Amino acid sequence: MKYEAAYKDLLSAPVNLTWEITKKCNLHCSHCLSAETIKHCDDELSFEQCCSFIDELYRMSVFQINFGGGEPFLREDFIDILNYTHKKGITTCVSTNGTTLNDSLAKKLTAMDLLYIQVSLDGAAAETNDRIRGKGSFDRIIKGIEHLVNHSFPNLSINTVVTAINFREILDLYELGRRYEAKTRLSRFRPSGNAKKVWEEYHLSKEQLAELSEFLSSHRDVLTGDSFFSITAQDRRDLALNMCGAARMTCSVSPDGKIYPCAFLQDDFFISGRAGRDSFESVWNNAPVFNMIRNIRVEACETCPRFNICHGGCPAVAYFLTKSLNQSDPECMLSFQEYLSQNESAGIAS
Amino acid sequence: MNILDGNTFYRLSPGVRARPEKFGLLLYNSKDTNLTFIKSGSFLTIESIDSNESIDSNGSIDSKQYFLKHHCKNSYDIERIKRLLKTLIKKGLILEVRSSI
């Protein structure tokens, strides 16, 4: 008996679930992961359907629901949904753009013990953030953060999707987080949803990926969740997931209840069931798409010395860039290390 | 609930949830969202008892307290479980409760 990750066994339920609770949004972020799904969404699940789905998650002992959207706080009954979830003892993490937070909402949220909030901010400078999230959004986001800070909201993180646009501001974002006593969370830019359209402009170069990997090693308090296992150095491997959690640790639900193995695999091909219509337990245990994801073998990676650190990387990035799930993550650490060392030996400056 | 050592019980700390998995127990701490995988096989299970005191500030409907129950058949396994429990106490995931009975 010892402590170690036991991911290889199929868990009886996901540890957490990402639920895009609404398709309403007041921003039009150029890299939005959910924009395409939301555009083609049917009606949102009703409050009663949401409660019934939460009951199912409670029965399966799901520990945490990550609510996103759209902008969750634009859904009128969202506070009721949060309260219902907390009454079941399920922890929630709300991903918000922060622009709808005000004093009274911040006060209400601070009273919720099981709530974590991550506010999205994509630049330490207004110009950078607004280029991605829309004009004037920086000031509104900062005001939202300040409302939470004024009420001493305890579980606050500021989340940045790392792109070539904001890459030079990561350290400033980290310091901004410290000023607000908020944790810094860095998320990987992946070619899903709207991000496909700006991939060429926004994705990190190999040099930037190498620099980011070093930054993460020297800032162990930066949260990354499931984002960067493909570039995680050995010294950070105990801090976050070391393999893809899709259909193993987590899965995702759209506003109209479609169930996907992961928020980054929201493509019709991956629809595995529907909350409110299908038994979630049955989807988790038996959905062919879930089983397919669990059985992905990235054979090209199996002899790699880093295999136990990343297990082939993120299948969503491989799928959207190479149209295959069994390919190595194109942003794999080893590939950019090789590229950089070849350039170095050829005398090419990065 | 059961006793490993005279009058000592082990209960989950407030905010810690657990569920049985094939490999043993999976613990989740709502105070930091961290997971702990306990590869204990079928040696440890979770048992609940009704309680009036654990209705928390969220108004959680879960008014039970959760205790660890062991199913060891020999002293060697009991010793291993004890070492495991000590580690869990150190990590703040369980509390040692001494009974006055």
What is the ipTM score, two decimals? 0.88
Looking at residue A328, what DSSP letter applies? P
pLDDT at B2: 56
CB within 8 Å: A112 and B41? no
Contact between B30 and A63 using a beta-carbon 8 Å cutoff: yes
- B36: contact with A, CB 8 A cutoff: yes
B80 to chain A: which residues are within 8 Å by CB? Answer: 1
Q: Is the dihedral of CA A101, B15, B17, A49 positive or negative?
A: negative
Taking the mean position of all CA atoms in its chain, how far away is CA A344?
34
Do the Cβ atoms of A15 and B26 come within 8 Å?
A: yes
Between CA B13 and CA A309 the distance in angstroms is: 31
SS3 content of chain A, % helix, strand, coil (to 5): 40, 15, 45
B43 touches A at CB < 8 Å: yes
Q: Compute the nearest-CA separation of A225 from chain B (Å).
A: 11
Which pLDDT score, from 0 to 100, does residue A336 have? Answer: 73
Determine, for residues B17 and A114 on separate chains, whether the beta-carbon distance falls below 8 Å.
no
With an 8 Å Cβ cutoff, is A80 touching chain B? Answer: no
CA–chain centroid gap for A178, Å, is: 21
Question: A111 contacts in B (CB within 8 Å)?
Answer: 57
- Confirm or reject contact between B65 and chain A (CB < 8 A): no
Q: Taking CB atoms and an 8 Å cutoff, what residues of chain A touch B19?
A: 12-13, 61
Q: Which residue in chain B has the smallest CA separation from A84?
A: B60
Q: Whole-angstrom Cα distance, residue A293 to residue A287? A: 10
Q: Which of A15, A88, A112 sits opposite B28 (nearest CB)?
A: A15
Q: What count of other Cβ atoms lies within 10 Å of the Cβ of residue B86?
A: 12
Cβ A63–B56 below 8 Å, yes or no? no
Ordered per-residue pLDDT tens for chain A, 350 residues: 433 444 567 999 999 999 999 999 999 999 998 887 777 888 999 999 999 999 999 999 999 999 999 999 999 999 999 999 999 999 999 999 999 999 999 999 999 999 999 999 999 999 999 999 999 999 999 999 999 999 999 999 999 999 999 999 999 999 999 999 999 999 999 988 889 999 999 999 989 998 998 898 899 899 987 667 766 666 666 665 667 889 999 999 999 999 999 998 999 999 999 999 999 999 999 999 999 999 888 888 888 887 877 788 888 888 888 888 888 888 887 777 777 777 766 665 44
Residues A18, A250 contacting (CB under 8 angstroms): yes
Per the CB < 8 Å rule, is B30 touching A91? yes
CB contacts of A89 in chain B (<8 Å) are 17, 58, 60-62
Does B37 sit within 8 Å of A1, measured CB to CB?
no
Looking at the complex, does the CB of residue B35 fall below 8 Å from at least one CB of chain A? yes
CB contact under 8 A, B23 and A6: yes
Chain A contact present for B71, CB below 8 A: no
Please report the pLDDT score of residue A337 as a whole number: 73
Q: In sequence order, what are the beta bridge partners of B27?
A: B18, B36
**Residue among A1, A17, A54 with most chain B CBs within 10 A, to mutate:** A1
- In whole angstroms, give the CA distance from residue A340 to residue A350: 8
Among A201-205, A207-211, B43-47, B65-69, the range with the most confident prediction by mean pLDDT is A201-205
pLDDT for residue A19: 98
